Amino acid sequence: MRSLADLYPDGIVGATVGGEITLINDHAARLLGTTVEAASGSRVDAVLRLQDQDGRNWWHVNHPERSLNTRSGIPEQSWINTDGEEVLTTARMVRDQPLGPVVGIAIGIRSGRGRARLDRERSDLVATVAHELRSPLTGVKGFVQALLNRWDKLNDDQRKLMLETVNADADRLVRLIAELLDVARIDTGRLPLYPRESDAVQLSRRVVDSVGAGTAREIELTADEDLPEVFADPDKFTQVLTNLVENAVRHGQGLVRVSLSRMSEDAAYPGVRICVDDEGDGIPKEMRNRIFTKFWKHGASGGSGLGMYIVGGLTRAHGGYVQVTDAPGAGARVVVDWPSEDLRPT
C-alpha cells in the first residue's frame, strides 16, 4: 500500500476518525514539511499544519469526526503550509457502511503552483483583451467627442473622415469580439459547424478578391484542374483562409501566393491542400508550433494574436491538418490539408 501511495502524483494522508495518521506518502510529507517516518502514527493536527488566512488549522475547521451521515467528502480548499506556499486539499469520508458513522478520512494534498500559474495566465488574458479593446475604443471616443464639440466648425469632408474612422474602429471591435467568441467555443468544444460539400476554388476566389480590395499588395490564386470538393462549413473555411491571407499580407512582403492542389494518393485522406506563401522573413523552426497558440504575435505588425489559433482550431474541427514550413525561395508557407469527407472528431 505504501509503495503504491508513493507512486501517486498527489499527496495522500489517511487517518482514523480519532485523528491518528495511518498512511502518508512521500509527496504529502514533503508538502507538509516532515518525513513519512516522523508522521506515521502521529496526530493529524500535529502533522497537517495547514492554516487559512485567519490562522485556523485544517482539522479544527473541517471537523471530519463530526460529519453528518450524508456528508461524503470535503471539496477542494486552499491552505498555506509551513513554508508559506499554497496547497490544495480535498478529503473523503470513510465509512464501514453507507450513512454509517465516519471511521476514517482520506486527504488529498497537492501544490497550488498549477493553479497560481493558471491564475497568471488568466490575468495575462484579461490584460491582453483589455489592451486590444482599449485601442479602437479610444479612437471611437476621441472622434465622437470631437464631432460633438466641434460639429459646427467642421466641414462635411472632415465629418465624413471622422465617421469613417469611427466605423472602421467599430468593425475592428466586432471582429475582435467574434474572434474571442470563436476561441471560447474552440476551447470548450462547442463550436457550431454546418459542413457540406463545397467548392474550395470558388470560396478561395472570394477571399482573395475581398482581401485584395483592401490592400495594394498583389495576391495570386492558382488551382489545379478537377479538384475535389471539400467537406466544410463554408463560413469557417472562408474564415480560415481569410486569416491566412491577411496574416501573409500583414507580415510578409511582395507577392502573396495562394495555391490549391489535390492531396497525394498516399495521404491519410483525400482532400485539397491549400498553401499560402509570403515573401517575408519566414518563421524559425523552433517557433512554428507556437504560432497556433493564443495571442501569439510575430514582428511589429498589428493584430489580435488570435488568428492562427482560430485557424488551427477550425481546421482540426473539420478533421484537417495545418502546419508551417518554408516558402519556396523565401518567406513562410502555411499548409492546410482539408478533407473531402466528414472526418470531424467524434
C-alpha span between 67 and 90 (Å, rounded): 15
The reported pLDDT for the residue numbered 2 is 64
C-alpha span between 260 and 128 (Å, rounded): 35
* Tens place of pLDDT per residue across the chain (346 aa): 566 777 777 899 999 988 899 999 998 998 899 999 999 999 988 898 898 877 888 888 888 877 777 788 889 888 888 888 889 999 998 888 887 888 899 999 988 887 767 777 677 767 777 777 887 888 899 999 999 999 999 999 999 999 999 998 888 888 888 888 888 888 888 889 999 999 999 999 999 999 998 888 999 999 999 999 999 999 999 999 999 999 889 887 789 999 999 999 889 999 999 999 998 888 888 888 788 887 776 655 556 678 888 999 999 999 999 999 998 878 899 999 999 999 998 7
As a whole number of Å, the CA-based R_g of the chain is 29
The reported pLDDT for the residue numbered 245 is 94
The reported pLDDT for the residue numbered 149 is 93
C-alpha span between 225 and 262 (Å, rounded): 9
Residue with cell 493564443: 294
Evaluate whether 229 touches 269 at the Cβ level (below 8 Å).
Answer: no
Residue type, 5: A
Helix (H, G, I), strand (E, B) or coil at 64: helix
Helix orientation angle between 113-150 and 156-188, rounded to the nearest 10 degrees: 160
The reported pLDDT for the residue numbered 283 is 84
Q: Helical H runs in the chain?
A: 2-7, 26-31, 36-39, 44-47, 58-62, 113-150, 156-188, 200-212, 234-251, 307-317
CA distances from 275 to 25, 230, 259, 268 (A): 54, 15, 5, 18
Helix (H, G, I), strand (E, B) or coil at 16: strand
DSSP sequence for 297-313: --SS----S-HHHHHHH
Query: Which domains does the chain possess?
Result: 2-111 (3.30.450.20), 116-188 (1.10.287.130), 196-339 (3.30.565.10)
Residue type, 127: A
C-alpha span between 104 and 119 (Å, rounded): 34
| CB-facing half-sphere around the CA of 206: CA atoms within 13 A | 10
Q: Using alpha carbons, select from 309, 219, 229 the residue that is nearest to residue 259.
A: 219
C-alpha span between 293 and 43 (Å, rounded): 48
Query: Which three three-digit cell numbers place residue 60?
Result: 479544527
Q: Using alpha carbons, select from 128, 65, 108 the residue that is nearest to residue 294.
A: 128
Q: Which residues of 96-129 are buried (b: 16+ CB within 10 A; e: fewer)?
A: eeeeeebebbbbbbbbbeeeeeeeeeeeeeeebb
CA distances from 318 to 19, 128, 204, 268, 346 (A): 55, 29, 17, 14, 11
DSSP character for 20?
A: B
Overall size of the chain counted in residues: 346
**Regarding beta strands 256-262 and 219-223, do their DSSP bridges make them parallel or antiparallel, or are they unpaired?**
parallel
Q: Using alpha carbons, select from 290, 222, 230 the residue that is nearest to residue 256.
A: 222
Straight-line distance from the first to the last Cα atom of the chain, in angstroms, rounded to the nearest whole number: 39
Residue with cell 474541427: 317
For the chain, the average pLDDT equals 87
C-alpha span between 25 and 324 (Å, rounded): 46
C-alpha span between 194 and 207 (Å, rounded): 19
The reported pLDDT for the residue numbered 303 is 60
